A and B are shown apart, each in its own frame.
Chain A
Amino acid sequence: MAKDRETDLERTMLNPLRQTTMQFWLVIAALAAICALGVIALVRQWALGLGVTGMNRPVYWGIYITNFVFFIGISHAGTLISAILRVTQAEWRRPITRIAEAITFFALLLGAMSIIIDLGRPERVLYLLIWGRYQSALLWDVTSISVYLLSSTLYLYLPMVPDLARLRDRWAGGRGQGSEVSGQPSAVSDWRYHLYRVLSLGWHGSHEQHRRLERAIGIMAILIIPIAVSVHTVVSWIFGMTMQPMWRSTILGPYFVVGAIFSGIAMLFIFMTIVRKAWRLEPWIGAKQYNYLGILLLVMSAFWGYFTLAEYLTTGYGTVTHEQHVIQAKLTGEYAPWFYAMLACNLIIPFAILLRRQGRTPAGTLIAAVAIAVGMWIERFTIIAPTLTRPSLGFGYAVYTPTITEIAITAASLSLFAMLFLLFFKLFPAISIWEVEEGEHVEAVRQKARELMGVA
C-alpha cells in the first residue's frame, strides 16, 4: 500500500503536513501573541488573587464559568455528532468526523482549564481527587468530564490508526521525502516518522486488524453518546442543584444538552470552513456536508427555541417573586440587550439563513454558525449573571462588570483553542483518509449494484 501512487486525496491531505506557508505561521504567531497576553493576565491573577476580576458578592461566578460551560458545550461538536452519524451510517459524515473529534478533544481541555482558572486556590485542584465527595455536583462534573475526555481521545485516536500507518510508510520511504512519485523536497524531519511509527501500533491493514478496528470504533461510537449527554447534563447541574432563582429548574439538564449540540455543530461549521479553505479540501467537503449539517443546525435551533420558550414562559407566567426579578432583568432590565442579542443570534439569524436551501452554502452557514457561537456564549452568560445579581434574599441588585483580566483570559482561551486545533492538523491529516476511501468503495459498489438492477 505504501508504495502505491498517491491519490488526489492523499496528496491533498499530506501536503499541508509536508509544507507550511508563511501565512500559516503568521496566523499562529498572532494567536500565540494573544495567548501570551492571557498568560500575563493569568500570572497576575495568581499572584494577586481573584480580586483582579470583576466578581464580587453575590456575583461569585462570572465569565470564567461562562467560558467553562461554553467550551464543554462546543465539545459536543464532535464526538457526539460524529458518533450519531457513524451509528446511523450517514455516508456524508466521512470527511468531517476527524475535524469534529478534534474540536471535542481541544474544547474539553480548554473547558477543564477554564475551571482551574476560576479557582481561588488552583494549586489545590488535586484535592478534588483526594477528598472529592460525590454529594457535590462538582464531583459529578470532574468524573463525567474525565471520562468524556478519555473516551473522546480514544475515539479521536482509534479511527486515526490506519492513517497514521500510512503516514509512517510515507515518511519511511525517503526519511521525510514524500513518496517517490510526488518527489517533493520536504523539510519534515525524522522525529515525525518515529511519532507515526509508535502511534500506528504496527498497523499493516490486514483483514483481521480492520475487523477489530471497526468493532472497537463501533463500540466507542455507541458508548460515547450517553457519556456526552451525561457531561452537559451534569454541567447544568452545578447550577440546577442550587436553589437560585431560575437555576433550580428541571429543564436545565436537557436545555444545556440541546444548547451544547447546537453550539457544537456551529463550531464544527466554523472550523470545517477554515480547514476546508486553508487545506483546500473543497473536493471532499462540499455542498452535501453543508446542506445536511445545515439542516441539522436548523433543527437544533428550533429545539433550542422550544426549550427557551418552555423555560421562560413557565417562569414568566408564574408569580414567584425571586424568579420574577431575574426574568425582568433579562426582558427589560440591564441584561435585556444580551437577552435579545441571544435570541437574534440563536433563532432569527439561523432561521433567516438556513431555512432555504440556497442559504445552506459555505458562506451562509458560516455566518449563521458564527452568530450561533456568539449567541450560545451569551446564552451561558445570561443564565449565570442575571441570577447571581438578584439573589433570593433581596436587598438591592448587584452589578457585575468583567475586567480587562477576564476579557484577556477569555480571548487567550479562544486563541489557544484555535491554535492547538490548527497545529494538530499540521501533524495529522484533517480528513480520515481511509474512511473516505472506504466511502468511495462503498459508493462504487452501490453504483454497480444500481446499474445491474437498473438494467434488469
Chain B
Amino acid sequence: MTRWGMVIDLDKCFACQSCTAACRMENNTPPAGPDQASRDRAILWNEVLPFVEGEYPRVKVLLVPRPCQQCDNPPCTHVCPVRATYKNAEGLVMVDYARCIGCRMCTVACPYQVRYFNWYAPEWPAALKAHLNPDPEVAPRPRGVVEKCTFCIHRRRHAEEKAAAEGRPFSATDYAPACVQTCTGRARYFGDLDDPNRLVYQLSHSPRAFRLLEEMGTEPKVYYLKQG
C-alpha cells in the first residue's frame, strides 16, 4: 500500500502561487471575487500562507504553501458525525459531498484550516466557466458543503487507467497532483513516503524536514524543508 506524501522545499519555493492557480483549474474551485475574498471566504485548496513576524522595518516573512496536510491521524475525520469525511484505503482524507450535512465541525477541528465551506453556490465568469475541468470527480460542489485538497485523487485514477491501457503495472511515479506538476521552482516532491528508494522518503527524513504543528500529533503527510 502506497503512503502518498509530499515534501515542499521552502528554500526553492518563491511563493509564485502557481500551485494555487493550477489547483484552482484542476479542481474547479470557484473564484471568490473581491468582496467575498475580503471577508475570508475564498476557497483555495492550496493556499500560500503568509507568516509575518515583527514590525517594519524589522519584518520576517515566511511564505508557506499549504495543501491539505493529509494527516495520518486526522482530527477532521474523527469529528464528522456522518462519515462524510474519511480516510481512503491509501490514507488520503476525502470528502463525500453528497453526504456532508454542513455542520462545519471538521472545519473547526482542523488546526491547519485546510477545509473550506461553500457559503454560496459556486459561480464562474463565462470565460473561466468554459475551462472547467470536465472530470466528474471534481464536478463543482453544491452550496452548503465542505471541500478540500484531495492530492488530486482523480489524477491517480487517470494514471492507473493509463498504465492499464499501456499494459504495465501502475507505479507510484505515474501520479502527481497538479501543484507538484506545475511548481515553477520544482520545490515540491510527491510519492510513496514508505519507499526508501524515493526522493520523498529521503527528503522527509532530512534534518531540514519538519511538519506544521507537529506537537499536535496529527501526523501530517506533508513535510516542509526548512528555509535558510
Interface residues, chain A, CB within 8 Å of chain B? 48-51, 55-61, 115, 118-122, 124-125, 127-128, 130-133, 135-139, 142, 238, 241-244, 388, 391-396, 398-399
Q: Is the CB of B108 within 8 A of A49?
A: no
A244 contacts B108, C-beta separation under 8 Å? yes
Contact A60 B107 (CB under 8 A): yes
B152 interface residue (CB < 8 Å to A):
no
A334 to chain B, nearest CB (A): 16
Query: Looking at the complex, which one of A55, A124, A391 makes contact with B101 (CB distance below 8 Å)?
Result: A124
> In the complex, what distance in Å separates the CA atom of A59 from the CA atom of B112?
13
In the bound complex, CA of A57 to CA of B32 (Å): 13
Partner of B79, one of A50, A138, A142: A138
Asked whether A48 and B79 contact (CB < 8 A) given A120-B104, A242-B108, the answer is no
Q: Are B102 and A120 in contact (CB under 8 A)?
A: yes
16 contacts between A and B (CB under 8 A): A56-B39, A57-B107, A57-B116, A119-B103, A120-B101, A120-B143, A121-B102, A127-B99, A133-B80, A135-B78, A243-B109, A244-B108, A391-B111, A392-B216, A393-B49, A393-B111
The winner among B36, B50, B105, B120 for most chain A CB atoms within 10 A is B105
Give B139-190 interface residues, CB cut-off 8 Å to A: 143-146
Determine if B128 is an interface residue (Cβ-Cβ < 8 Å): no
Partner of B120, one of A51, A133, A137, A242: A51
Question: Is B124 interfacial (CB 8 A cutoff)?
Answer: no
The interface residues of chain A lying within 8 Å CB-to-CB of B39 are 56
How many angstroms between the C-alpha atoms of A124 and B39 in the bound complex?
27
A392 near B81: Cβ-Cβ < 8 Å: no
- Chain B residues with CB under 8 A of A238: 105
B213 / chain A contacts, CB cutoff of 8 Å: 392-393
* B81 and A49 form a contact (CB under 8 A): no
Q: Report B-chain residues with C-beta under 8 Å of the C-beta of A58.
A: 40, 107-108, 113
The 9 lowest CB-CB distance pairs between A and B, nearest first, are A120-B102, A120-B144, A51-B119, A56-B40, A138-B81, A136-B81, A49-B143, A51-B120, A131-B82
Contact among B109, B112, B146 for A242, CB-based, below 8 A: B109
Contact pick for A131, options B40, B83, B121, CB 8 Å: B83
Across-interface contacts of B102 in A (CB, < 8 A): 50, 119-122, 124
Chain B contacts with A in 10-41, Cβ cutoff 8 A: 36, 39-41
**10 additional A-B residue pairs with CB within 8 Å, beyond A124-B102, A391-B111, A393-B113:** A59-B40, A60-B104, A60-B117, A61-B104, A120-B143, A122-B102, A127-B101, A238-B105, A242-B105, A396-B52
Chain B residues with CB under 8 Å of A49's CB are 118-121, 143-144
In the bound assembly, the distance between CA atoms of A243 and B218 in angstroms comes to 10
Known A-B contacts A243-B109, A392-B213; the reply to A51 vs B82 at CB < 8 A is no
Q: How far is the CA of A11 from the CA of B214 in the complex (A)?
A: 70
Tell me how many residues of B have a C-beta within 8 Å of chain A: 42
B199 touches A (CB below 8 Å): no
Give, as a whole number of angstroms, the nearest-CB distance from A423 to chain B: 31
Q: Given A56-B41, A121-B100, A131-B83, decide whether A138 and B144 contact each other with a Cβ distance below 8 A.
A: no
Expressed in whole angstroms, the Cα–Cα distance for A372 and B223 within the complex equals 49
A125 to B103, alpha carbons, bound, how many Å? Answer: 9
Please tell me if the beta carbons of B82 and A132 are within 8 angstroms of each other in the complex: yes
CA of A131 to CA of B100, assembled, Å: 11
Main secondary structure, interface of A, reads loop
Minimum CB–CB distance from B39 to chain A (whole Å) comes to: 5
Does B212 have its Cβ within 8 Å of any Cβ on chain A? Answer: yes
Q: How far, in angstroms, from A12 to B100 measured CA to CA in the complex?
A: 52
* Least distance between B196 CB and chain A CB atoms (Å): 30
A2 to B41, CA, bound (A): 65
Measured in the bound complex, the distance between the Cα atoms of B96 and A127 in whole Å is 13
**Contact yes or no, B83 A120, CB < 8 A:** no
Q: In the complex, what residue of chain A is closest to B36 when comparing beta carbons?
A: A51
Q: A127-B99, A395-B49, A398-B40 are in contact. Are A142 and B117 (CB under 8 A)?
A: no
Say whether B75 faces chain A, with CB atoms less than 8 Å apart: yes
C-alpha spacing A392/B51, complex, angstroms = 12
Contact A133 B107, beta carbon cutoff 8 Å? no
Give complex CA distance A241, B80 in Å: 12
- Does the CB pair B118–A242 fall under 8 Å? no
Cβ-neighbour of A137 out of B50, B79, B82, B143 (below 8 A) = B79
Q: Which residue of A lies closest to B49 (CB)?
A: A395
CA A243 to CA B215, docked complex, whole Å: 11
> Beyond A120-B144, A121-B100, is A133–B83 a contact (Cβ under 8 Å)?
yes
A57 CA / B52 CA spacing, docked (Å) = 19
A-chain residues with CB within 8 Å of residue B36 when the two chains form the complex? 51
A241 & B104 in contact (Cβ 8 Å cutoff): no
A186 to chain B, nearest CB (A): 48
Q: In the complex, which of the residues A392, A394, A398 has the most CB atoms of chain B within 10 Å of its own CB atom?
A: A392
**Considering the chains assembled together, what is the distance between the CA atoms of A395 and B66 in angstroms?**
12
Distance of A235 Cα from B38 Cα, bound (Å):
32
Are B105 and A136 interface neighbours, CB within 8 A?
yes
Q: State whether A120 and B82 are in contact (beta carbons under 8 Å apart), knowing that A60-B117, A391-B113, A393-B113 are contacts in the complex.
A: no
How far is it, in angstroms, between the C-alpha of A131 and the C-alpha of B85 when the chains are bound?
A: 12
Contact of A121 among B79, B81, B105, B145 (CB under 8 A): B145
* Closest beta carbon of chain B to A392's beta carbon, Å: 5
